[in-house]
């Protein structure tokens, strides 16, 4: 593709993403894939260049939205991508000349005026939420967690994530990573997980033999750590209440060496179907899936059989995903204060439901891929306050860590409750992830 055609593709795709953000429709990564699937003429270099522009755009979008608010008298569809180009790639603006059918259309009168005005904008006046690319609905909670390090944390959150792999010990040993050395220059062990490998260059995993054989899985190190902190032991009965596509159930199954029983529950049939496929690929024979009905009474009936009977129940709760913004930068604009309130309500209810399923002496593990105290420490506090008479104890993650085969170096926590673990990209080079472990007292 000619440079003009690449630019036209960037603008077209950015506008599509904007429409999707406005109605909270499909996430950007899906739209990008879809876009290129229907444009086979785009080669891999074109695809890479256009995708890089899109992600760069999303990593400063809140600033562009602020700039737009300073300029606009009349909104125009292409304004945000045009502001991005004017500010960061001014040379490329020359390509908006309509010189061929593949170039972007020339600026119309309104666009030309706004782009011109933007040159006089004092960008240093932008507020914190804009410079940190962190919408207000999330900034409040993040400031509470990082009162003196918010810039460092949000800067790290605005960088591309590494690509982590988990070696499936049911099918391979860590030596498998030497098979990657031939094709990947930059690969190393992760900091804390004993089965984690970090790849610092892009890798087409789907095509790799080790993946097809189920010897490895894609999993961020934070999720590997969280799975290990469930501290599963062979023979245990474990419930994964929000199993999704099974990422953590698979890891727990490997730790248990395929013994005992894991019941992977979810409300999403297609996610559970994916979990089943992955379980077959990875040779996991101790996982059973359980589709939870929407109807409350039916759901209660279905879960009644597990009441007070499980060694471990873990809740990898639906959340705002603020800890995954490195991978999904547009996730920031998919929530607001109202949806945050709705999700915390659901988190409280899932934790109570999970607690009922744990047997005396068993453990309840609550986790989210969020960094907001409202979804993490606040939920834990409310649970403990409401349930204290039923004999729940919050375990210190450091104590549980020593029961696992995680590295000897125990990470410091960024959590406001010191017994719980909050991981962050800036401090631990993982996704932002929260884990709290409760124990039900014996008898
Ligand atoms: C964070 S994801 C789980 C990811 C998964 N544990 C993994 O490691 O791959 C949260 C999951 O909760 C599920 N979910 C949402 N509401 C639920 C509910 N009321 N009960 C059970 N699962 C629910 C979603 O379908 C989603 O798959």
- Residue positions forming the annotated binding site for S-adenosyl-L-methionine: 266, 295, 316
Instruction: Give the pLDDT score at 207.
Output: 82
Spatial CB neighbours of 394, under 8 Å, sequence gap ≥ 6: 380, 384, 417, 419, 420, 436, 437, 438
Which of 310, 312, 290 shows the shortest CA–CA distance to 301?
A: 290
Do 408 and 286 sit in the same domain of this protein? yes
Which residues form the catalytic set? 369
Do 397 and 309 sit in the same domain of this protein? yes
Strand, helix or coil at 393? strand
Last residue of a domain, one of 195, 218, 241: 218
Residue of higher predicted confidence among 175 and 295 = 295
Q: Where in the sequence is the domain holding 340, given as residue range(s)?
A: 221-440
Query: In angstroms, rounded to a whole number, what is the distance separating the alpha carbons of residues 433 and 222?
Result: 6
Q: Which of 244, 294, 433 to mutate to test the pocket of ligand 1 (most atoms within 8 A of CB)?
A: 244
- Is 409 inside any structural domain? yes
Residue of higher predicted confidence among 181 and 221 = 221
Does 273 sit in the ligand 1 pocket, CB within 6 Å? no
Do 423 and 359 sit in the same domain of this protein? yes
Query: In angstroms, rounded to a whole number, what is the distance separating the alpha carbons of residues 164 and 198?
Result: 5
Does 437 sit in the ligand 1 pocket, CB within 6 Å? no
What's the gap in Å between 276 CA and the centre of ligand 1? 15
What's the gap in Å between 132 CA and the centre of ligand 1? 29
DSSP 58-97: HTTHHHHHHHHHHH-SS--TTHHHHHHHHHH-GGGGGG-S
Do 104 and 168 sit in the same domain of this protein? no
What's the gap in Å between 430 CA and the centre of ligand 1? 20
What's the gap in Å between 255 CA and the centre of ligand 1? 21
Taking only the tens place, the pLDDT of each residue in 153-185 is 999 999 999 899 999 999 999 988 877 765 566
Nearest CA to ligand 1 atom 9: 247
Region 320-333 average pLDDT = 96
Does 375 sit in the ligand 1 pocket, CB within 6 Å? no
- Is 267 inside any structural domain? yes
Does 179 sit in the ligand 1 pocket, CB within 6 Å? no
- Is 311 inside any structural domain? yes
Spatial CB neighbours of 325, under 8 Å, sequence gap ≥ 6: 157, 158, 331, 332, 432
- Is 133 inside any structural domain? no
pTM for the structure as a whole: 0.95
Do 207 and 225 sit in the same domain of this protein? no
Do 312 and 408 sit in the same domain of this protein? yes
Instruction: Work out the pLDDT band at 150, boundaries 50, 70, 90.
Output: very high
Region 354-382 average pLDDT = 97
Instruction: Give the pLDDT score at 180.
Output: 73
Number of domains in the chain: 3
> How confident is the prediction for the chain on average, in pLDDT?
94
Instruction: Give the pLDDT score at 47.
Output: 94
Tell me the pairing of strands 421-423 and 392-395.
unpaired
Do 242 and 193 sit in the same domain of this protein? no
Do 399 and 304 sit in the same domain of this protein? yes
Q: Which of 225, 267, 291, 314 to mutate to test the pocket of ligand 1 (most atoms within 8 A of CB)?
A: 267
Is residue 2 within 8 A of residue 102, CB to CB? The reply is yes
Query: In angstroms, rounded to a whole number, what is the distance separating the alpha carbons of residues 97 and 5?
Result: 11
Instruction: Work out the pLDDT band at 98, boundaries 50, 70, 90.
Output: confident
Query: In angstroms, rounded to a whole number, what is the distance separating the alpha carbons of residues 34 and 28?
Result: 10
Query: In angstroms, rounded to a whole number, what is the distance separating the alpha carbons of residues 199 and 203?
Result: 8
Does 278 sit in the ligand 1 pocket, CB within 6 Å? no
- Is 157 inside any structural domain? no
Taking only the tens place, the pLDDT of each residue in 109-127 is 889 989 999 999 999 999 9
Query: In angstroms, rounded to a whole number, what is the distance separating the alpha carbons of residues 379 and 381?
Result: 6
Does 266 sit in the ligand 1 pocket, CB within 6 Å? yes
CB-facing half-sphere around the CA of 211: CA atoms within 13 A: 12
Instruction: Give the pLDDT score at 77.
Output: 86
Do 340 and 435 sit in the same domain of this protein? yes
Which of 178, 258, 180, 189 shows the shortest CA–CA distance to 221?
A: 189
């Amino acid at each position: 593709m000619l440079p003009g055609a690449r630019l036209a593709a960037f603008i077209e795709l950015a506008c599509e993403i904007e429409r999707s953000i406005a109605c909270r429709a499909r996430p950007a990564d899906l739209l990008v894939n879809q876009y290129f699937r229907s444009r086979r003429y785009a080669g891999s270099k074109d695809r890479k260049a256009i995708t890089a522009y899109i992600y760069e755009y999303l990593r400063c979008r809140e600033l562009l939205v602020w700039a737009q608010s300073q300029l606009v008298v009349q909104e125009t569809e292409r304004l945000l991508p045009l502001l991005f180009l004017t500010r960061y790639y001014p040379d490329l603006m020359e390509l908006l000349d309509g010189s061929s059918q593949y170039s972007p259309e020339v600026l119309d009168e309104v666009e030309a005026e706004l782009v011109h005005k933007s040159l006089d904008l004092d960008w240093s006046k932008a507020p914190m939420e804009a410079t940190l690319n962190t919408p207000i609905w999330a900034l409040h909670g993040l400031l509470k967690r990082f009162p003196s390090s918010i810039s460092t944390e949000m800067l790290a959150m605005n960088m591309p994530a590494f690509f982590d792999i988990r070696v499936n010990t049911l099918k391979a040993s860590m030596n498998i990573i030497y098979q990657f050395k031939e094709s990947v220059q930059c690969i190393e062990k992760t900091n804390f997980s004993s089965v984690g490998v970090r790849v610092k260059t892009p890798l087409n995993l789907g095509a790799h033999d080790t993946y097809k054989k189920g010897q490895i899985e894609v999993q961020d190190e934070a999720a590997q750590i969280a799975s290990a902190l469930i501290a599963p032991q062979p023979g245990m009965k474990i419930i994964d209440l929000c199993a999704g596509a099974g990422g953590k159930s698979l890891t727990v199954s490997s730790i248990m060496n395929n013994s005992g029983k894991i019941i992977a529950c979810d409300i999403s049939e297609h996610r559970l179907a994916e979990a089943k496929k992955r379980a077959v690929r990875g040779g996991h024979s101790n996982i059973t899936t359980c589709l939870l009905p929407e109807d409350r009474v039916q759901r209660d009936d279905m879960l009644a059989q597990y009441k007070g009977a499980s060694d471990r129940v873990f809740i990898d709760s639906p959340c705002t995903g603020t800890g995954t913004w490195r991978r999904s930068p547009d996730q920031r604009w998919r929530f607001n204060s109202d949806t945050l309130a709705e999700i915390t309500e659901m988190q409280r209810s899932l934790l109570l439901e999970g607690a009922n399923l744990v047997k005396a002496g068993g453990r309840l593990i609550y986790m989210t891929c969020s960094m907001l105290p409202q979804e993490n420490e606040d939920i834990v506090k409310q649970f403990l306050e409401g349930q204290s008479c039923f004999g729940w104890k919050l375990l210190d993650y450091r104590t549980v860590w020593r029961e696992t085969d995680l590295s000897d170096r125990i990470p410091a926590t960024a959590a406001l409750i010191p017994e719980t673990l909050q991981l962050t990209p800036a401090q631990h080079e993982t996704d932002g992830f929260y884990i709290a472990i409760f124990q039900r007292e014996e008898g």
